[in-house]
Chain A
Amino acid sequence: MNMHSPLILHMISVLFLISFVPLQSADTPIPSKIEFNRDVRPILSDNCFYCHGNDASHRKAKLRLDVREDALKQEAFVPGKVDESALIERIVTGDEDELMPPPDSHKKLTAEQKEILKRWIAQGAEYQQHWAYEKPVKAAIPVGQNGVDVLVRQRLAQVGLNASLEADRRTLIRRLYADLLGLPPRPEEVDAFVKDSRSDAYAQLLERVLQSPHYGERMAIGWLDVVRYADTIGYHSDNPRNVWPYRDWVIQSFNANKRFDRFTIEQVAGDLMPGANQETRVGSAFNRLLLSTEEGGAQAKDYEQRMLTDRVRAIGAAWLGQTTGCAQCHDHKFDPFTQRDFYALGAFFADIKEPIVGRREDGMVVAPSEVEMKLRELDAALVVTQKKFDAIVPQLNLAQEQWEDDVLSYEVILPELRPGSKASGEEKQTAQRVAALLKKPAKDRKGQEPVLVQNYFRGRVTKLFKAERDAFAAAQKARDDFYNPLPKCLVSMSTPQKRTVRLLPRGDWMNESGEIILPALPHYLPQPASKGRELTRLDLAEWLVSRDNPLTARTVMNRLWKQFFGMGLSKVLDDLGAQGEPPPNQALLDWLACEFMDSGWDMKHMVRLITSSATYRQIAKPTPQQLSVDPYNREHARQSPFRLDAELVRDQALAIAGLLVPKMGGPSVKPYQPDGYWENLNFPVRSYDADLGESQYRRGLYTWWQRSFLHPSMLAFDAPSREECTAERNRSNIPQQALVLLNDPTYVEAARAFAARILTDCKGDNVARIQWGWQQALQRAPEANELKIIMPLFNERLAAYRADAKATESLLKVGHAPVPSALDKAELAAWTHIARVLLNLHETITRA
C-alpha cells in the first residue's frame, strides 16, 4: 500500500482527532465548561511554559503563564474579555513576528486548542493547582461495592459505553496466573477452576494465587526495572558487583506483603532506621544500584556528580513520578521543580560511604547469625596468627637479605636450575625470573618483583619460623574458604564525613562557585514539621510515604494498574507533572491512592481489589462501538490483551516443557547465550559460561543482568538494560523475537523436552497427543481447523526424520537436558517441531 494514498491520509486525520480530543466530546469536540487542568494546562505546558514557565533564567519578556497572579501582573490576559487579552491576540495574529508560539519553536496551536484558550478566558481564566500536587480525594463508595467498578462505571456512563461480559474461566485463570505469577496454569488447575461451582470460586482462586511464592517473583520484575537493578556496574568495563540479595529481598518483601511504606524506608534508609538489621540493610542496597565506573582517568568530581544526579532521578522515577533530570542544569521548565530542589534532593545521599571511581567493595555478608559468628571467629583467629607472624617478619627479612648476599657472593645456582633438577617447567621459569631479579639491587625492584623474590625465599628456601608461617597461611585460607562463597550485598553505610554538595551552574562539575546545598525536600510539595536539625535520608524516606505526599501512592498505583490493564490510568508512567497526562479517570486513580494509604500501604490488598473487580474480569475482545469511542481502552469497558514481558516469555516455554526449576533466589544465572556476544567487553576480556544443571532452567528474572550487554533474548523482548530507571517498558513486536523463539537453543531444547513429555505422558494416538500438547501449552483443545494444519505437518516431519538419521541426531542434541533413551528418535524429532510451533504461537506469549 502506498503511504500517500488519500485513504491513509484520511485515516491519519481521523486518528489525529481521536488521539487528541477528549473522549467525552467525540460529538462536541470542545467541552462547554473548560477545566484548567484537563483542557488548558496541557496546551500551555507543551507550547508556552518552555519560555514562560518555571525556569526564571530562560523566561522571555519576564512573563510566566504557569502562575495566574504573575500572568495577570504582566497583562497576559483579561479574565472574561477575550478581545482584550494579549494572549489570544498573539496566538491568532497573522504577523509572523508577533505570533505565539513563535514559528522557530516548531510549535503550532490547532484551531481546537485556540478555541479552548478563548473559552477559558471568556469563562474567567481560572487556574487550578496541578492535579498531582493536590492531595488525592477519596470518592465515597457504597458499602459492599468495589471502588474500581463503581468509578469505572461512572465514567462509562458519561462516555456512553457499557461494560463487557466476564471472560470465560479459562481466560480468567490464564490472565490471573500471567499477571500475578507469570506462569501458565496447569491443565488440571484450569479444569478444576472451570468445574468449581462455588459462588466464590474466583475469590478462592485469587487467594490461592496470592499465597504462591511465585507472586513475589512476578511483582518484583516491575520494581527491579524502576530501581535499575542489575548485576554489573554499567559504565565502561561493566564489571560485576554483589547485589543479588537485594533482588531476593524485593521478592520476599512482596511475598510477605511488607507494608509499602516500610518497603520504601528500608530501601532509602534501611541503615538509619531505628532497629536497623540485616534485612533493612539489604533493602538499603537500593542506594547502591546506580551506575559506576572503574575506567582509568575517570575524574572523581565528574562521577560524584553523575552519581548524585543518578540518585535524584531514581527517587523521582520510583516514588514521585517526577522527571527531575533537566533540573541538573536549570530549573524545570514545566514543573515547579527547581535546580535548588535537585541538588537539595541529591544532598540527602551525601552521607553514603562508597568509592566514587573504582571497584565496588564486596559488601555486607548476608547470612544467618551463626554464620556471621563463625566468620567473626575465623577473623579473630586470623588476627592472632597474623600478630605472631608480624613479629617474625623482621627476622625473616634479615634472613632473606643474607640469603640474597650469599647467592650473589657465591654465585649460587638456584636448585631448580641445576642440571638434573626435577622441577617442573613452571618452577624453572619462576626460578629463572628470581635469579635474574636477585642481580638487581632490592631497592630497584618494581611492581610485583619484590613479592616474587620474597615468595620464592619464603616458599622454597627458608625453613625459619615454619610453624608461625604455616599457622598464618592456614588461618588465612580457613577464613577465605569460608568467606568467599558467602552471599554479599552492597548496602548503604552512612559516614559523618559527608560529601559537600554544591549547586552546579549549568550542571558543570568543574565549576565550584555554586553555593553549598543542604538536604531539603522539593519546595512545592507539602513539607514535614521542622526538625530543627539537618534532614537525613530517613527523613526523606519517611516523607516519601507520608500521608501528605500527594505523589507516591498515585505513582505506585498507576504502575500497578498497568500491570493489570496494559496501560496506566495516566498513560505517562514516569511523569505525573505538567507534561504528563492528567488521568481521564482521575477519581479512580485518587481513590486507589487513598485506599492504598488507608489500608496501611497494603499491596496485596490493592492487588486483590483490582484483580477481583468486574472490570478486571471482562473479556478482552472489543466491540465495534468500543473501538470507535475508546480505541485505546482508556475507559476500561473491556480488558486489553498484551504480550508477556521478556522474563515471562522464557518462563512460559520452560514451564510448558517441564524444564522449569522453580527454585527461588540466589546468585544470578546464565542461560545459553551465543558465543562471542561479549566480545566487545573489556578490562578484563570475559567469556560467558552458560550454567549447567538446574541453574540453566531458572526463571527469567534470575538471568545475569549485564547492563552493557544484556542477554540478547531478553533484549529482543524489550527487557530494559536497567542503566536508567524504567517505569515503562517498550512492548515491541519485531523480527528478532521470531528468531529467538525459533532458533535460540533455550527454546529449541524446550521444544524437544516438551515433545518428550508429549510422547511419555500421553499414551494415546497422534490426535490425542496433539490435544494433550494443546492443553499443556494453551489449556484448551485444538480447533478442527488447527488440527488440519498440524496433522499433515507432523506426518511430513516424521517422514523427513525417518529418512535422515543424521538430522534427527543433530536436532535432538540441542541443549543439555537428557533425551529419554526409550523414545523413537525420529518420532521425538517430529514432535519437537509440533512443540516448537506451539511455543511460537502468539497466544502462548500473550496474556489475554
Chain B
Amino acid sequence: MNPITPSQLSRRAFLGTNSQGLGAVALASLLNPRLLQSAPSHGLLQNLPLPQKAKRVIWLTMAGGPSHLETFDPKPKLAEMNGKPMPESFTKGQQLAQLQGRPLTCFGPQHPFAKFGKNQVEICALFPQLGSVIDDICLIRSMTTDAINHDPAHMFMNTGSQIAGRPSMGAWVTYGLGSEAEDLPGFVVLTSLGKGGQNQPIAVRQWSSGFLPSKYQGVQLRSKGDPVLYLTNPPGITRQLQGGDVAAINELNRQRDLLLADSEIATRVAQYEMAFKMQASVPELMDLSGEGAKILELYGCQPGDGSFASNCLLARRLAERGTRFIQLYHKDWDHHGGVKEGIQFKAQEIDRACMALITDLKQRGMFDDTLIVWAGEFGRTPMSQGGSGRDHHNKAMSIWLAGAGVKRGVVHGATDELGYAAVENVTSVHDLHATMLHQLGIQHEAFSFKFQGLDARLTGVEGARVIKDILS
C-alpha cells in the first residue's frame, strides 16, 4: 500500500475519534479530501445498521408556532366552551408565555373543520388541497416540546438542545450520511416570509454545524441577491476570467504543496474547484424557467417570487440533484392576535404548495424515499389572548410526516377535549428526531460525537424512542 502520510490528515480528524468506529471512518474520509468534495460525498456511517427508507429529508418548518386548533386538531368541545373560563384543572401550575398570571378564557376554533380522504381525517377546511392528499400523510396530534419561546424552541426543534452551539439536524444527517449532490451543498436552507407580518426572527444558528466540522453547516439559498452568499463573480469578471484565476491559484498552490507537503493545500485546491462549480450549478438550480407552465401552476408560483411555493419547487429540484437535507422556513405563524385572518393568509401560502410537493415527488417516483416533515416550533393555547389570538404553547402541537416508509392516511396521538395537552401517544421532539434518523437508516443512540467529554447525540441523554406506530 501507499505509505500513509498523516500530513494528509487534518487536525480536525481528532474531533471525529470515538470508540464506535465513526471516528475512524472520519479519519479515512479526511485522508483524501477529494472523497468528500467534487464527487458525491460519502458519509461517515458506512454500513447503516438499519434499512434506509429515506434518502433525503424535506423539512417544512412553520416558524412562529402554528395553532393546532386552526389546522389539524378539531375540538368541538372547545367551540362549546368559547368565552367560558378555562377550567383550572387544565392549567394550574403550568408554564405559559404571555398569558402567565392572566385570566384564562376558552377560545373556540376560528374555522370549521372538514373530513378528507379514505379515512375521513378531519382537518381545518381552509386546507382542501392538503386534504386532497391526506391519504399520503401521517398526522401526529400529540407532539410536545420543552421550550415556550421562539428562539429556544427553534433551537430545541433543530438541535435537540436549548443551549446555543449544538449541531442542527441537517448537519448531523449530512455528517452521518454525506450527500449525493455533486456540486451543491448537502444541507440547504430556504426561507420565505408570510403576508401577515408576524415574521419572527430566525438566527443562522438554526442551521449551524455546531461542534461538527463546518462543512456540514446548512447553506442558505436566498431568493434575492446572490442565491448563495458571494456566489456571483465580481462585476467585470466573466466566468472565463474567474476560471482562469482559479486555475492559476490552484496551480500556484500545487507548486507550493510539492515543497511543503501540507495536506491542507490539496484540500484548498479541491475547495476552489468546488466553489467554481457551485458558481454554475446553483444558478442552474435556481432557474425555474425550464419547469413548464404545468408545474408552476401545480405549485402556484412564479419564478423568482421568493414564495414558500417557489421554495417547495426548489426543494424538489434540490432533492433531484442529491441534496440530503432540505429545510424550508415559512414564517408568520405567530398569531398572538388575529388568528382567524392570520391562518387564512397561511392557508393561501402553503396549502397548494404542500399538496404540489407531495404530488410532484410522487409523479417522479421520489415520494417513497423522501421524508417530508411539516412542523412548527410549538403549538398554541386553547385560551384566548387579547380576544382574537392564541399564546405560545408547548404541551400540544400538530405536525405531519409523509413519504419514506411513514404510514399513510393515519392520525397518531390525541390531545384532551380542549386541545390543551397531548394525552394519547404523547410524543417528544427527541422522539421525532429518533424517528427521522431511523428512517434514514441511523440508530440514534449510537450516533454520537465527542464534545466536551460527552458522547453528544441529537436525541439527547434522556432517552428518546422511535415512534414505531407511524412506520409502515
Contacts and interface: CB of A to CB of B under 8 A. Distances in A.
Interface in A56-74: none
Contacts of B100: 297, 299
A733 B28 contact: no
Nearest to B166: A724
Given A15-B4, A641-B260, A837-B248, A106 B203 contact: no
Interface in B194-228: 199-205, 208, 213-215, 219, 222, 224-226, 228
A846 B236 contact: no
A10 B232 CA distance: 42
Nearest to A619: B260
Nearest to B212: A730
Interface in B18-77: 19-21, 23-25, 27-29, 31-35, 37, 42, 46
A261 interface: no
A718 interface: yes
Contact of B253 (A682, A736, A806, A841): A841
A293 interface: yes
A578 B453 contact: yes
**Which of A1, A323, A732: most chain B CB closer than 10 A?**
A732
Interface string B88-109: 0000010101101000000000
B305 interface: no
A235 B151 contact: yes
A724 B236 contact: no
Contacts of A811: 234-237
Contacts of B471: none
A111 interface: no
B452 A575 contact: yes
Contact of A326 (B151, B278, B454): B454
A682 B201 contact: yes
A499 interface: no
B311 to A, nearest CB: 14
Contact of A814 (B14, B234, B448, B450): B234
Interface in A651-687: 674-677, 679-683
Contact of B1 (A11, A20, A683, A718): A11
A75 to B, nearest CB: 27
A708 B230 contact: no
Contacts of B24: 12-13, 15-16, 19
A580 B14 CA distance: 12
A833 B242 CA distance: 9
Interface in A190-227: none
**Which of A15, A726, A807: most chain B CB closer than 10 A?**
A15
B442 to A, nearest CB: 12
B10 interface: yes
Given A15-B24, A236-B201, A783-B255, A8 B225 contact: no
A824 B42 CA distance: 50
Given A15-B4, A15-B27, A622 B11 contact: no
B212 to A, nearest CB: 9
Contacts of B234: 742-743, 745, 748, 811, 814
A736 B260 contact: no
A800 interface: yes
Interface string A830-848: 0001001100111100101
Contacts of B1: 7, 10-11
A309 to B, nearest CB: 8
Interface stretch (B265-273, B314-322, B354-362, B411-419): B265-273
A720 B165 CA distance: 9
A789 B250 CA distance: 11
B245 A742 contact: yes
Given A108-B19, A631-B6, A742-B230, A708 B201 contact: yes
A744 interface: yes
B218 to A, nearest CB: 12
Contacts of A451: none
Given A297-B149, A579-B454, A785-B255, A708 B98 contact: no
Contacts, number: 313
B14 A571 contact: yes
Interface string A791-820: 001001100100000111111111000000
A810 B235 contact: yes
A705 interface: no
B363 interface: no
A748 B272 CA distance: 16
A107 interface: yes
A796 B237 contact: no
B280 interface: no
Contact of B229 (A104, A642, A736, A810): A736
A712 B201 contact: no
B369 interface: no
B27 to A, nearest CB: 5
Interface in B254-268: 255-256, 259-262, 264-265, 267-268
Contacts of A720: 165
A681 B27 contact: no
A723 interface: yes
Given A238-B203, A579-B453, A681-B201, A743 B391 contact: no
B12 A731 contact: yes
Contacts of A809: 236
B306 to A, nearest CB: 10
A212 B19 CA distance: 46
B150 A236 contact: yes
A492 B236 CA distance: 52
Contacts of A4: 46
A627 interface: yes
Contacts of A19: 13-14, 17, 23-24, 27
Contacts of B233: 742-743
B42 to A, nearest CB: 5
A487 B402 CA distance: 55
B285 interface: no
B267 A733 contact: yes
Contact of A11 (B28, B202, B391): B28
B295 interface: no
A674 B226 contact: yes
Contacts of B42: 3
Contact of A675 (B13, B25, B225, B279): B225
B249 A841 contact: yes
A790 B230 contact: no
Contact of B98 (A297, A674, A712, A731): A297
B208 to A, nearest CB: 8
B231 interface: yes
A742 B76 CA distance: 60
Interface of A: 1, 3-4, 7-16, 18-20, 46-47, 104, 106-108, 110, 234-238, 291, 293, 295-299, 302, 323, 325-326, 334, 510, 566-567, 571-572, 574-575, 577-580, 620-622, 624, 627-628, 631-632, 640-643, 674-677, 679-683, 707-710, 712-713, 715, 718, 720-721, 723-724, 726, 730-740, 742-745, 748, 783, 785-786, 789-790, 793, 796-797, 800, 806-814, 829, 833, 836-837, 840-843, 846, 848
Given A1-B34, A841-B253, 17 more contacts: A3-B28, A15-B24, A19-B14, A19-B24, A46-B19, A234-B164, A236-B151, A641-B260, A675-B225, A680-B201, A682-B201, A726-B165, A730-B213, A733-B33, A738-B275, A739-B279, A800-B241
The 3 A-B residue pairs whose C-beta atoms are closest, nearest first, are A579-B453, A631-B6, A811-B236
Interface of B: 1-7, 9-14, 17, 19-21, 23-25, 27-29, 31-35, 37, 42, 46, 93, 95, 97-98, 100, 148-152, 163-165, 191, 199-205, 208, 213-215, 219, 222, 224-226, 228-238, 241-242, 244-246, 248-249, 251-253, 255-256, 259-262, 264-265, 267-268, 271-272, 274-276, 278-279, 336, 391-392, 443, 445-446, 448, 450, 452-454
15 contacts: A16-B27, A19-B13, A238-B201, A579-B452, A621-B260, A676-B224, A713-B230, A715-B204, A723-B164, A735-B272, A739-B275, A743-B232, A743-B233, A811-B237, A846-B264
